[in-house]
Chain A
Amino acid sequence: MVSYIVFLLVVAGIYALLAQSLCLAWGVTGLVNLGLAGFFAIGAYASATLTKWGGAPVPVGLLAAMLAGAVAGFVVCVSTLRLRDDYLAIVTLGFAEAVRVVASNEIWLTGGTDGISGIPAGLPRDWGQGFHLAALGIVTAILGLVWLALRRLVASPWGRALRAVREDQIVAAVAGKRVTRLKAEAFAIAAAIAALAGALYGHYTSYIAPEIFQPLITIYVFLAVTAGGNGRPTGAAIGAYLLIAFLEATRFAAEVLPGVSAVQAAALREASVGVALILLLRLRPRGLFPELSQKAPA
């Protein structure tokens, strides 16, 4: 049981990193990024190929993943400058699918649908429980750092400008904010965080394949961020832990229900995610940790 919970805390930490990414791009800047799974994949592949086939140490892989994510984020952002809201959502969703299709078919680069197995972890896997605890420590520490940095960024004048862009980018431009640059910066940083999460996921589980990076992951993270409160890094992180707790708790709840077959239980689990979201939006429409209104500096 303990190792199961440790494992879930690591996975939840990785989801929380993805939630930090989405909090910055969507919650603070207003860019609906449905391509999260794509950036997650880019990070995972960048780090996995570099460390497994290139022989680079894991920390170098993590840095390379962030760089790759930032570059991809920058490219996606500048090529979609004129798009907002639904249109940006469609294009970013398409981007994530394109990443998955490329990962499936460019076998020389990514190993194709076989995926990449035996990715080095940077820690000895035969430590047993120790390995998982060490991974938990590392992932949680990285999440803590990202969370702290994001809190500072969001509270800074730069963060305020991002919120201005979110509310009305024409007004922000009139007020002298460089809207394009702000959006590109925020999107690139957000993509780098998502890529870091992907790299950590690959190193921890030792295996990645295109099928992992389905839109389902993006949707889960949107749920987490919506539940926690999309404008606050704290809310996004807690939302991710709640999401994993909820997803796993439904497993045990379904077992207790009498007269429910395994298929019905699986369907009920998926339905319950939707019901929980509807209830949450009905009762706490701005999430559990709503964005605080900041006073103008004196």
Chain B
Amino acid sequence: MIITTRRTALFAGASLLAAPGLVRAQGAPIRLGTLTPLTGAGGPYGPVMANCVKSVVSDVNAAGGVLGRQVAVVSEDDQTNPEAGVRAARKLIDVDRVAAIMGTWASAVTTAVAPLCWESKTFLATVSGADSITALPHSGWLIRTQPNTTLQGRKFGEYAVELGAKKVFFMAPQTPFTQSQLANMKPPIDRAGGSIELLIYDATKPSLRTEVDQVLRARPDLIVLGGYTPDTTVLLRDIFRAGFRGKLLAYAYSVNQQMLSSLPNDVTEGIYTLAPSPAEGSGGFDRVKRIVGNDNPDPYTCQIYDQINLILMAMAVGNDATGQGIRDNIRKVSQGGGDRVDNAVDGLRAIAAGKKVDYDGASGPCDFTDAGDITDCKFRYEQVRAGRQTLIRIA
């Protein structure tokens, strides 16, 4: 019995090999990888991102897949650590043979993984913000959907001035974008006759009271919080305990719904937040809201939603489901005019009908420079009122 089964399997395997290459290629799914932090400091963001990709892909598969093939997503954990990230990326590239890797989050992980990608002709889409990333010699194998720090820093500086701040303090852990964020916040504040100072803290400390006291001695009227959710939570508690009565300004990805429901409303009341945003009325953002089941999806999830949609459409438009195909064609679907689409199912239908598409996503218009940076981005200004993010404006 066993021998018969084996023989059958052998026969089946041999006949599969004997079949023409085209038939086999059509049968094999297109493989794409997500490499998001599922554990470690990025743990609050990565799982939602990976699920978002799976959800988009299952919609596309239900509508017939890409180039007549189904799409399979392999999700790996970068553990928010470049060493573990490189091992996971190697597995995605060499074993799963993915055409693209999406969602690397920490800048150090992206910088470590990027050379593996361009050496193996695998496309990399990242949400890391450090200016240095698009300056790597990647020759087109990398795009990022996160606005670089130069732009974000300037917006923070301008908004601080608008909020009437004269004495600004910037509290942040040391990250690849801390220094350039400060450098770009400074000019607008200086022009308005104000001043800004920086205090670097260690993001792993369980209490930041000494740091807060040190900042409050300078009597700032606005504190900019530059950390991620876990350390910003600690920081906000200590700022509240210290009795600070000035204004607070933070990234929307750190002061998110998850944090707002874990802290008392008194602690978070009145915090201003800024986030890269899609234009008003964009359907992409609403779709991400539905996917994550939450009115306030974090920007990384919005960005990875855009990455997977762009990659699927780029493969279709170039009729090439490899990393090379994505690299060569992604700008043909992201920009340059055509039918406006906000999801891959509509986009693939339009491409199949021979139309040109221009994708506008959940994180913004998604137009890329040659270096892989986004060209333009609107920002979403919000304020926390009674434990909820309240939209002030999009500009």
Contacts and interface: CB of A to CB of B under 8 A. Distances in A.
Given A1-B94, A114-B130, A251-B91, A212 B174 contact: no
A137 B38 CA distance: 34
Contacts of B263: none
Nearest to A254: B77
Interface stretch (B104-112, B234-242, B289-297, B312-320): B104-112
Given A107-B179, A114-B176, A263-B50, A3 B94 contact: yes
Given A1-B94, A266-B77, A269-B77, A105 B174 contact: yes
Interface in B58-98: 74-77, 79-84, 86-88, 90-91, 93-95
B86 to A, nearest CB: 6
Contact of A7 (B46, B51, B94, B175): B94
A261 B51 CA distance: 9
A267 B83 CA distance: 18
A49 interface: no
A239 B187 CA distance: 55
Contacts of A112: 174, 176, 179
A209 B113 CA distance: 12
B94 A125 contact: no
Given A3-B94, A251-B91, A262-B47, A270 B112 contact: no
Contact of B94 (A4, A104, A263): A4
B282 interface: no
Given A1-B94, A7-B90, A125-B119, A209 B111 contact: yes
Contact of B83 (A2, A113, A128, A217): A217
Contacts of A125: 119
B303 to A, nearest CB: 18
Given A112-B176, A251-B76, A269-B77, A4 B91 contact: yes
A121 to B, nearest CB: 11
Interface in A71-116: 101, 104-105, 107, 112-115
B90 to A, nearest CB: 5
Interface string B126-142: 00001010001100000
Chain A interface, DSSP helix/strand/loop, else mixed: helix
B202 interface: yes
Interface in A1-27: 1-4, 7-8, 11
Contacts of B119: 125, 128
Central interface residue in A1, A214, A216, by most chain B CB within 10 Å: A214
Contact of B81 (A7, A104, A214): A214
Interface string A187-205: 0000000000000010001
A262 B50 contact: yes
Given A112-B176, A263-B50, A211 B86 contact: no
B335 interface: no
B interface bracket (residues with beta carbon within 8 Å of A): 35 or more
A263 B175 contact: no
Contact of A115 (B50, B51, B111): B111
Chain B interface, DSSP helix/strand/loop, else mixed: helix
A206 interface: yes
Interface string A237-262: 00000000001100100010000011
A238 to B, nearest CB: 19
B58 to A, nearest CB: 14
A150 B137 CA distance: 41
Contact of A209 (B38, B47, B82, B91): B82
B391 interface: no
B394 to A, nearest CB: 31
A209 B132 CA distance: 13
Contacts of A105: 174, 200
B213 to A, nearest CB: 20
Contact of A4 (B81, B95, B107): B95
Given A125-B119, A211-B106, A262 B38 contact: yes
A114 B115 contact: no
B112 A205 contact: yes
Contacts of B108: 113, 115, 209-212
A104 B174 contact: yes
A115 B74 CA distance: 28
Given A113-B174, A211-B108, A216 B81 contact: yes
A267 B38 CA distance: 8
| List of 7 A-B pairs having minimum Cβ-Cβ separation, nearest first | A4-B94, A262-B75, A266-B38, A266-B77, A209-B108, A263-B47, A211-B108
Interface of B: 34, 38-39, 46-47, 50-51, 74-77, 79-84, 86-88, 90-91, 93-95, 106-109, 111-112, 115, 119, 130, 132, 136-137, 174-176, 178-179, 200, 202
Given A128-B119, A209-B112, 7 more contacts: A1-B94, A1-B95, A114-B111, A117-B115, A201-B83, A207-B82, A212-B81
Interface of A: 1-4, 7-8, 11, 101, 104-105, 107, 112-115, 117-118, 125, 128, 201, 205-207, 209-212, 214, 216-217, 247-248, 251, 255, 261-263, 265-267, 269-270
